[in-house]
Amino acid sequence: MKGRTLGPLKIGIAGLGHVGCGLIELVERQDKLRLPGVVEIAGVSARSQSRNRPVDTDKYRWFDDAATLAEDPDVDVFVELIGGSDGPAKFAVESALKAGKHVITANKALMAKHGMALAALAEEKGVDLLFEAAVAGGIPVVRVLRDSLAGVEIKRVAGILNGTCNYLTTSMLETGRSYDEVLAEAQKLGYAEADPTLDVSGMDAAHKAAILSAIAFSADLDFSKVKVSGVDGIDLLDLKLADRLGLRIKLIAEGLLTEDGVVCRVEPMALSANHPLARVNGSLNTVRIEGDPVGAITLTGPGAGAGPTASAVMGDVAKLFRPAIRPAFGRAEHHVARPFVAAMGDETSAFFLRVRLADQPGALAALTEALAAEGVSVNQLVQDSADDSGASPVAIVTHRCPRSHMQAALTRLGKLTMLIDAPRLIRIETAS
């Protein structure tokens, strides 16, 4: 029996930046791909029709308004690549769903903020809402969580979800250059935007972590409960001292199942140099999924860029030749309802502490005594010679203790006259 060709599947593309143009390039060479049928572009939309682009868009129907494209009767699947959590992107996606169109989006901010409402609308209209490209670019982690690991009780999802931040911490340590120098290089190479705030603040990773957590734990995504801190406060001294203690500082995004609900947070963490996440360098992304009965699974690959992101979009397109309509976040009525809850901040952990002390007798003893007074014991300690300003850097790895003890110790340290500036405290990842 001969196989039949499916299609054509007609897609409308809203947003013609790097990813949108990358998707058009894939469509135009689909004969070299493994799609189950033929994909046709029914129309395109962007803010400017005259902008110079690497692909010829004149051959496709042009729409000035994305929502009009979303509702066009010739469009089977609306692909949203506009960006932004609100405004035209949100309105166009809502318009497409209300019109009974399948929607594919790469918009992590939109899904993190409005994903639950959009998923409910898609379910009401009996259409698919797919967003593989919204998280970790070329890594198929959404599909793996939602489909491949449906038979696994997930306990934790953690990883490096922002290539810019990973490039910064990796390159600073490897080259010995400052944060500002490496950031400027990342911008020149295209790893960081002209305004890198979304990346370095941790917000980009937080959007992705919230989406993964909602899927992994069948939870009600509430981005207001996500705790976020970035790498913009990390300097070269922190990285060097951590390295001497056998640690690597990485921006880690985490979703954790607790008795109260789902804790989702993004923060710099110190990891043992042999930890799987510590070995991921440069601009790569990685996601580590822990659960029963499989143990731990790690997925690594390019997390951004036109090619990887466009390929993730095309993967979602391929699914829609034979759509199996299911909830966007994989949550069914029989699943245990779990809320997002704010991190309480009193977890028990080992910590990396970096301080700069005045180069004077008794300074180190005063530091360790302040820690001991709050029940914090020292596991490892390194001290550098005083720098030109007369400050002596000290780095400590503590034994495991409640964060509240560490915070009390920091308060006590703040009263020491020999403390030069504010201490740096970073939780140490202990999972193997």
CA distance 423 to 432: 27
Q: Find tokens 């469009």 and name the residue.
A: 75
208 in catalytic set? yes
CA-based angle 288:275:382, to the nearest 5?
140
Q: How far is CA 365 from CA 11, 28, 66, 158, 394, in A?
A: 68, 68, 65, 37, 12
8-36: average pLDDT: 92
pLDDT tens per residue, range 245-284: 999 999 999 999 999 999 999 999 999 998 989 988 888 8
Start-end of H helices in 349-421: 363-373, 403-413
Crossing angle of helices 163-175 and 179-189, rounded to 10°: 130
Confidence class of residue 6 from pLDDT cuts 50, 70 and 90? low
CA distance 75 to 177: 50
CA distance 29 to 40: 12
pLDDT tens per residue, range 365-379: 999 999 999 999 999
SS3 content of the chain, % helix, strand, coil (to 5): 35, 25, 40
The number of residues making up the chain comes to: 432
pLDDT for the residue 7: 63
pLDDT for the residue 305: 77
pTM equals 0.86
Phi-psi sector, 305: left (phi>0), alpha (psi -120 to 50), beta? left
Confidence class of residue 3 from pLDDT cuts 50, 70 and 90? very low
Q: Phi then psi for 130, rounded to 5 degrees?
A: -120, 140
387-399: average pLDDT: 87
**Poorest-confidence range of 16-25, 264-273, 386-395?**
386-395
pLDDT for the residue 266: 97
pLDDT for the residue 263: 95
Does residue 184 register a pLDDT over 50? Answer: yes
CA distance 201 to 246: 25
Does residue 185 register a pLDDT over 50? Answer: yes
CA distance 423 to 428: 16
Burial profile 43-73: b = 16 or more Cβ within 10 angstroms, e = fewer: bbbbeeeeeebebebeebeebeebbebbbbe
Phi-psi sector, 109: left (phi>0), alpha (psi -120 to 50), beta? alpha
**Poorest-confidence range of 148-157, 183-192, 204-213?**
183-192
Check: CB of residue 406 under 8 Å from CB of residue 345: no
Confidence class of residue 2 from pLDDT cuts 50, 70 and 90? very low
140-150: average pLDDT: 91
328-352: average pLDDT: 78
pLDDT for the residue 335: 65
Six-digit token pair at 413? 């340290």
172-197: average pLDDT: 88
| CATH code 3.30.70.260 region(s) in the chain | 348-429
Q: Which position among 208, 240, 250, 319 bears the catalytic label? A: 208
| CATH code 3.40.50.720 region(s) in the chain | 6-134
pLDDT tens per residue, range 277-330: 998 888 889 999 999 999 999 999 887 778 888 999 999 998 888 766 666 776
Q: Which CATH superfamily is domain 141-302+331-341 in?
A: Dihydrodipicolinate Reductase; domain 2 (3.30.360.10)
Strand (E) or helix (H) holding 214: helix 203-216
Average pLDDT for the chain: 90
Phi-psi sector, 80: left (phi>0), alpha (psi -120 to 50), beta? beta
pLDDT for the residue 331: 65
pLDDT for the residue 417: 86
Q: How far is CA 336 from CA 142, 143, 154, 292, in A?
A: 20, 21, 13, 16
The dihedral sign for the CA sequence 302, 308, 312, 318? negative
Q: Could you give the 3-state DSSP secondary structure of residue 379? A: strand
User: Looking at the domain that runs over 6-134, which CATH code has it been given?
Assistant: 3.40.50.720
Confidence class of residue 149 from pLDDT cuts 50, 70 and 90? very high
pLDDT for the residue 73: 96
Does residue 151 register a pLDDT over 60? Answer: yes
Question: Domain 348-429 belongs to what architecture?
Answer: 2-Layer Sandwich (3.30)
pLDDT for the residue 4: 42
Q: Which residues contact 278 (CB under 8 A, 6 or more apart)?
A: 247, 248, 250, 271, 272
Crossing angle of helices 18-28 and 306-319, rounded to 10°: 60
